[in-house]
Structure 1
Amino acid sequence: MTTSTQARPMASPSLAPPPRVNHRRSYARRALRADLLVTLLWASAAAAVALFLASGGAAQFTSAAQIVTSLGIVAGLVGTDFILVMLVLAARIPLIDRTIGHDRAIAVHRSLGKPALYLLLGHGALLLTGYGMSAGINPIAEIGPMWALPDMPLAFGGTGLLIAVVVTSLVAVRRRFSYEGWHLVHLLSYVAVAVALPHQLSVGGVLAEGTAQRVYWIGLYVLAFGAIATFRFVEPVVSSLRHRITVSGVRTIAPGVTSIELTGRDLHKLGASGGQFFIWRFWTGRTWWHSHPISLSAVPTAGSARITVRELGAGSGRISAVPVGTKVSFEGPYGLFSGAARTAPRLAIAAAGIGITPVRALLEHARLAPGEATVLLRASTPEETYLWDEIYDIAAAKGITCYVMVGHRAARGPGWMPADDARRGVTLASVFPDLARSDLYLCGPTAWLDLVEHDAKALGLPDHQIHAERFDW
């Protein structure tokens, strides 16, 4: 069955018009903070090299062997700095999340993985070559004497762990792992960095006691591991104990789709905006070992919150059957798929499938003038119209124009819409005629989302006006 694009009637809004917000000014401030953050991250690597050169490293470029050895030291310093930056980006520090968003932070984190590994492998190869040249022996033969140096076995072991982490992070390899298995291997990055520290402090005299380099590097390690300990472990435990969330109800809203009602204390003080997600852990015998990144499907009140889950695997299937009374711990909120990311005066939203969940909370939380927002809901079949009735109610109350598309994707033309709509010449521009002055929020299956995003960019919409929430890891 295919239902053509159709508008829902727009009722008179029941809320007073919201105060005017200068979204461009808010975006400019956030963009400035993002630029400063990126500059700071790159400056950390430059500072590591500058400190080495200023502490006598510049004087070591006098012979071929010393040049090779010094380049090896520089590669190791920059590679280690990248690894520590990766840990900071993965620590879910609120300032970073509010500035660039969780998705972008993790994207940068991933992009540094291979360069860091190559630099550390180059570090080892260059040092072996340089030491071998100085001793007049084959670089391979230098492995034995280097292995005998204090703490070097730990350094070799750390490099091996990093290789395992980077290899399992490659998309083609990652898809062969369950999320739990991949996450367990990824935790080895913490171990790999920790076991590399002793050889930095004990070998070669680069970080000798009393030097600025030693203070700098110990400070970086404290920052990285302190952020991990604080925001990945301590803060989530404290918040979970403070809010005491439990499951108060489990309701099937469609085949394979379940809404989980949560109750707790002062949940309105979680600091969550509509559209953000938390990482949830349900404490039952079958689910305690698996954490789930799931968006809110309703804005928290003082005593309640709600998430909506589609069964996409064994993990999500188990949490869809958790009993009432199950204790829940959490991390978050995370993400910039919220009003905080807006840059333009109008709002355009397209959601498909279970991607409706953050959109429903985003619309509930948003303060909108009548006619300010337009929403497109997409489903392949009528059975996939999850929470659409709730969207209609919010749209009627806030003066939001709402369009729907139901039907299997077109074989020709824009592949993100049903065949009937494609034949009638429906386009992204016809659904959102004021797209150039809008922020476009997209949430749904990655393949569908990529097609819509491609069309938006083809129409000239800049990247900073596109906000995509992808359900992948």
Structure 2
Amino acid sequence: MVPASTSDPVPAPSPRPQQEDRDRSSRRRQRSAVILSAACWVSVVAAVVVFLGSGKPAQVTDVAGAITAAGIVTGLVGTDLLLLMLVLAARIPWVDRTFGPDVTMNLHRRLGKPAVYLILGHGALLTVGYSLRDGLSLWHQTLSIYSGGDMLLALLGSCLLVLVVVTSLVAVRRALAYEAWHAIHLVSYAAILVALPHQFSAGRVLAETSPQGVYWICLHIFAFGSIAWFRVAAPLFATDAHQLRVARVETLGPDVFSIHLSGRDLSRLHVRGGQYAIWRFWSRGTWWHAHPISFSAVPTDTGIRVTVRASGAGTRRLAGLRPGTRVSFAGPYGVFTAATRTAPRLAIVAGGIGITPVRALLEDRDLGPGETTVILRATDRSHAFLWDEVRALVRAQGGTVIEMLGGRAAGAPSWMSAAAAHGQATIHSLLPDLHASDLFVCGPAAWTRLVVHDARAAGLPDGRIHVENFTG
């Protein structure tokens, strides 16, 4: 059986000036994406070019020199990738708006292994090159290089990087508590810092006044400066300016609750519906854990609401927050917003706690009659939190809401309920205007992948599919 709509179908909206705005915004994002991608490649190429222009390659006269030069190049490219990783992890607003946090951090993770392999190759090639040059065995040359001083720190940095990569493997990460994994991941900053001295002494890259030295000094300043400002200083200033406190905690369902916050000048945050922030609640048992939580309503000038589903001990403690608890934050982040739309219609599929950014997204946008179709998915009524609010928002805009309750059908994996699947429902029958729509999907990661698979199979291009994954 196919779930019924809570409102009657409305004729398709006529073209509006908003579509022209969406087209211009899409073109700007595409240009920005090209520029950012090109900047990453240019950075890597520049690392090699400034080395080639330093005159050192001309000094290569034998095999030992060639291997040593290759070791230097791998080290430079590896270091360049590490610094790019820092930039990608700095949550620079322009980068965040261009790619979104998921894409940016995915690129950050993908650069990790090549960077570490290059750094390890750097050490191995230099050891072989120096061994041939000095006529020593590899063992004795290794002892000579890493016997102490700056090179020992460089070796320590390499070991720390290997530790970070190993703990980033999916199997290892799942076995670690989030706090433990995050603490180990911060070691990557220390790994780069402890390797800096050898770039002044043995490598002398940062000690030169040549174009090569200027390039590397500027890149280090930009990478660490971005981390210092956007990850530390800017959130501290924003927290002090807005003075957020817990006003009350409202229970919505089993392990689901909304946290209402009070503050000042909150409209200056310029939050878009669908975004999230990183929250830290300063009470016993919660202060040491930062939580990425979506806004479940567009903030007013004096109030914010976020909605949480307890998925572990850390989030479960938030249900006991007392009024007056201080709150610090970083953000807002994310591109799961109407600003990414390119099509005249809007289709939304939300499952479980994925309703939270969807509810704010609907509130934030002036939608035309019949423009929006929303599918709400839950196993039963106890998990239908915020549905009343979503229904009211969509009805006020003349849109359509489809409620899909019940467990999934056995057999082939599906994001639909068993009743919908047995009724031969398809994403096209539920969303007949899919090809004229942007599709926003939010819910548990495995569930959203099934929705996205159906949308792609139906012919919807990736550029019109916008996903926000939740872990619970």
- Which TM-score tier does this pair reach, normalised by the shorter chain? over 0.9
The aligned residue for residue 129 of structure 1 is 128
Q: In structure 1, what is the equivalent of residue 209 of structure 2?
A: 210
Matched with 1:21 is 19
Q: Which residue of 1 aligns with 2:241?
A: 242
**Quick check: 1:348–1:435 contact (8 Å CA) kept in 2?**
yes
State whether structure 2 residue 55 is matched by structure 1 residue 56.
yes
Identity %: 53
Q: How many residues were matched structurally?
A: 467
Partner of 1:455: 454
The structural deviation recorded for 1:8 is 0.7
Counterparts of residues 303-322 of structure 1 (less than 5 Å): 303-322=302-321
Q: Secondary structure at the match of 1:151?
A: helix
The residue that corresponds to 2:344 in the other structure is: 345
- The equivalent residue for 2:299 is 300
CA distance in 2, matches of 1:411, 1:326: 46
Asked if structure 2 preserves the Cα contact closer than 8 Å seen for 1:416 and 1:448, the reply is yes
Contact 1:18/1:367 (CA < 8 Å) preserved in 2?
A: no
Aligned amino acid, residue 333 of structure 2: Y
When residues 11 and 346 of structure 1 are mapped into structure 2, their CA distance, relative to the original with a 3 A threshold, is closer
**Further displaced range: 363-372 or 3-12:** 3-12
Render the CA deviation track for 1:307-331: whole Å, top value 9, x for unaligned. Answer: 0111100000011211111110000
- How much does 1:205 deviate? 4.0
Distance in 1 between residues matched to 2:231 and 2:276, nearest whole Å: 15
Q: Which residue pairs with 1:5 in the alignment? A: 3
- Separation of aligned partners in 1, 2:156 and 2:339: 43
Q: CA 1:204/1:197 → structure 2, altered by over 3 Å: closer, same or farther?
A: closer
Answer yes or no: is the 8 Å Cα contact 2:408–2:417 preserved in 1: yes
1:255 matched to which residue of 2? 254
Gaps of at least 5 residues in structure 1 are: none
Say if 1:454 and 1:85 are closer, same or farther in 2 by CA, change over 3 A.
same
Matches within 5 A, 1:420-435: 420-435=419-434
Instruction: Tell me the residue number matched to 2:361.
Output: 362
| Mean CA deviation greater in 341-350 or 58-67 | 58-67
Structure 1 residues 64 and 468, CA gap change in structure 2 (3 angstroms): same
User: Does structure 2 retain, via aligned residues, the 8 Å contact 1:11–1:396?
Assistant: no
**Residues 213-228 of structure 1 aligned to structure 2 (within 5 Å):** 213-228=212-227
Residue 380 of structure 2 corresponds to: 381
SS of structure 1 residue aligned to 2:296: strand
Q: What is the RMSD computed on CA atoms of the aligned residues?
A: 1.7
Alpha-carbon offset, residue 411 of structure 1:
1.6
1:334 match:
333
- Name 1:176's counterpart in structure 2: 175
The amino acid that maps onto 1:163 is V
Query: In 1, Cα distance between the equivalents of 2:53 and 2:223?
Result: 24
Residue by residue over 1:223-259, the C-alpha shift from the partner in whole angstroms, topping out at 9 and shown as x without a partner, is 0110011011110010001001111111101011001
2:30 paired residue number: 31
Q: C-alpha deviations, 1:417-452, integer Å up to 9, x for none? A: 111111111011111112122111111011111111
In the aligned structure 1, how far is the partner of 2:56 from the partner of 2:415?
Answer: 57
Residue 410 (structure 1) aligns with: 409
The offset of 1:19, in angstroms, is 5.0
The amino acid across from 2:4 in the alignment is: Q
**1:18·1:368 contact (CA, 8 Å) conserved in 2?**
no
Name the residue aligned to 1:40.
Answer: 39
Query: Per-residue deviation at 1:182?
Result: 0.7
Residue 285 (structure 1) aligns with: 284
User: Contact 1:260 / 1:306 at 8 angstroms: preserved in 2?
Assistant: yes
* CA drift at 1:61: 3.8
- More displaced 10-residue stretch of structure 1: 412-421 or 165-174: 412-421
CA contact (8 A) 1:298 1:305 kept: yes
* Letter in structure 2 aligned against 1:114: K
- Equivalent residue for 1:468? 467
Q: Does the 8 Å contact 1:91/1:231 carry over to 2?
A: yes
- Higher mean C-alpha displacement, 315-324 vs 456-465: 456-465
Report the more deviating stretch, 70-79 or 22-31.
22-31
Q: Displacement, 1:69?
A: 0.8
Q: Deviations over 1:163-197 (max 9, x none)?
A: 11111111111111111111111111111111111
User: How far apart, in 1, do the equivalents of 2:107 and 2:424 lie?
Assistant: 38
Q: Which residue of 1 is the match for residue 119 of structure 2?
A: 120
TM-score w.r.t. structure 1 length?
0.96
Q: 1:412–1:430: structure 2 CA closer, same or farther, 3 Å change rule?
A: farther
Deviation, 1:148, is 4.1
* Counterparts of 1:205 and 1:300, CA distance in 2: 51
Per mean C-alpha deviation after superposition, the further-off stretch among 104-113 and 410-419 is 410-419
Deviation at 1:340, TM superposition (A): 1.5
CA distance in 2, matches of 1:321, 1:10: 42
Structure 1 residues 151 and 28: CA distance shift in structure 2, 3 A: same
Q: Do the aligned partners of 1:60 and 1:67 also contact (CA within 8 Å) in 2?
A: no
> Per-residue deviation at 1:109?
0.3
**TM superposition shift of 1:62:** 2.8
CA shift for structure 1 position 24: 2.7
Shift of residue 58 of structure 1? 2.7
Which range is displaced more, 241-250 or 197-206?
A: 197-206
Question: Cα gap change, 1:194/1:431 in structure 2, threshold over 3 Å: closer, same or farther?
Answer: same
Question: Cα deviations across residues 303-358 of structure 1 (Å, max 9, x unaligned)?
Answer: 11100111100000011211111110000000000011112221111000000000
Deviation at 1:136, TM superposition (A): 1.7
Cα distance, 1:224–1:206 mapped onto 2, change above 3 Å: closer
Q: Which residue of structure 1 aligns with residue 440 of structure 2?
A: 441
1:144 equivalent in structure 2:
143
Give secondary structure in 2 for the equivalent of 1:175: helix
Contact 1:10 1:395 in 2 (8 A): no
Q: Contact between 2:96 and 2:335, CA under 8 Å: does it hold in 1?
A: yes
For residues 201 and 21 of structure 1, the distance between their equivalents in structure 2, rounded to whole angstroms, comes to 55
For residues 347 and 365 of structure 2, the distance between their equivalents in structure 1, rounded to whole angstroms, comes to 13
Q: How far apart in 1 are the matches of 2:443 and 2:285?
A: 28
